[in-house]
Structure 1
Amino acid sequence: MSIPRDTRATVTEFLDRLAAGDPDRVAELFAEPVDWQLSWPDEGHPAIPWIRPRSTRAEVADHFRALAEHHVPERNATTVSAIVVEGGNAVLLGRIGQTARATGRSYTAMFALHLTVENGLITRYHIYEDSLSVAAALTAAPTG
């Protein structure tokens, strides 16, 4: 496994692996333990199983696997509009565009993702998103 050492290179590799849809390869870029935080209450939400604490590569892979299982991949319209890098920190800004598999309902949500990279591995993953839009799409009655 070849891991880039530069923050921007690591972030770019993370986005490339995420786009390729291989959760195990995404997880290879994370340190153990990782400082993981999502903009949800600690107890999560019953309709959104990927929202829970994580700290290991296996749990990171599980997170991205669960995201894929609960969304229609062909309808993913997530975009990154800016990446700001300063030292080991990177902030990504963008818009999540997904369709919930269970309900058929689409949603968009703005996000900010704060990553910290040390020695080519992601040590911090803090994402801030419009969690109300996500919850509404996953709990709405299925569309016909």
Structure 2
Amino acid sequence: MTTLSVVQDFLTRLAAQDADAVGELFADDIDWQVPGNPSLPWTGAREHGSDVPVFLRTMWSHFVEGRSEVRLDDIAVDGETAVVFAQLTHTAAPTGRPFTTAAALRFRVVDGQIVKLHLYEDTHAVSAAFV
């Protein structure tokens, strides 16, 4: 599997909100970073592929179902590294406030498994929607 095909598979499984299927794409040991307000339970670092489905379910439970939109803008690939550029729109379940943020997801894929995922987004906009 190529880096591009693994990342495209990740995006397809993510869009289907199949947390377990997304988790299957990750190696046992990973470098995962989602910066943000520490009061939001899905932010922070993860080190194990088994953490990925838990992360997704936790994050999704804080968004209003049916009120999310992802616009993919571009994917750049160089060997084992890929970057996905997108715009994310969600509505915070606790407040009902919508937010939109540009995002970049940096991947590293080794032997057909994701070993690194770092998310870059407007953490202030995300946090502000929840307070």
TM-score interval (norm. to shorter): over 0.9
Deviation at 1:103, TM superposition (A): 0.7
User: 1:30-45 to 2 correspondence within 5 Å?
Assistant: 30-40=26-36, 44-45=37-38
Deviation at 1:38, TM superposition (A): 2.0
Among all aligned residue pairs of Structure 1 and Structure 2, give the percentage whose two residues are the same amino acid: 37
Instruction: Tell me which residue corresponds to 1:110.
Output: 102
Q: Name stretches of at least 5 consecutive residues in structure 2 with no aligned partner.
A: none
Instruction: Tell me which residue corresponds to 1:142.
Output: none
Instruction: Tell me which residue corresponds to 1:99.
Output: 91
Structure 2 counterpart SS, 1:53: strand
Structure 2 counterpart SS, 1:75: coil
Q: Relative to total residues, which structure has the larger strand share, 1 or 2?
A: 2
CA RMSD of aligned residues (A): 1.0
Count of aligned residue pairs for this structure pair: 131
Letter matched to residue 12 of structure 1: Q
Q: Name stretches of at least 5 consecutive residues in structure 1 with no aligned partner.
A: 140-144
Deviation at 1:53, TM superposition (A): 1.8
Letter matched to residue 18 of structure 1: L
Match of 1:51 among 38, 43, 51: 43
Structure 1 counterpart SS, 2:46: coil
Match of 2:22 among 26, 35, 40: 26
Instruction: Tell me which residue corresponds to 2:128.
Output: 136
Query: 1:81-135 deviations in whole A, cap 9, x for unaligned?
Result: 0000111110011111000111110000111111011111001101111000000
Q: TM-score, normalised by structure 2?
A: 0.95
Q: TM-score, normalised by structure 1?
A: 0.87
Structure 2 counterpart SS, 1:102: coil
Letter matched to residue 23 of structure 2: A
Letter matched to residue 67 of structure 1: M
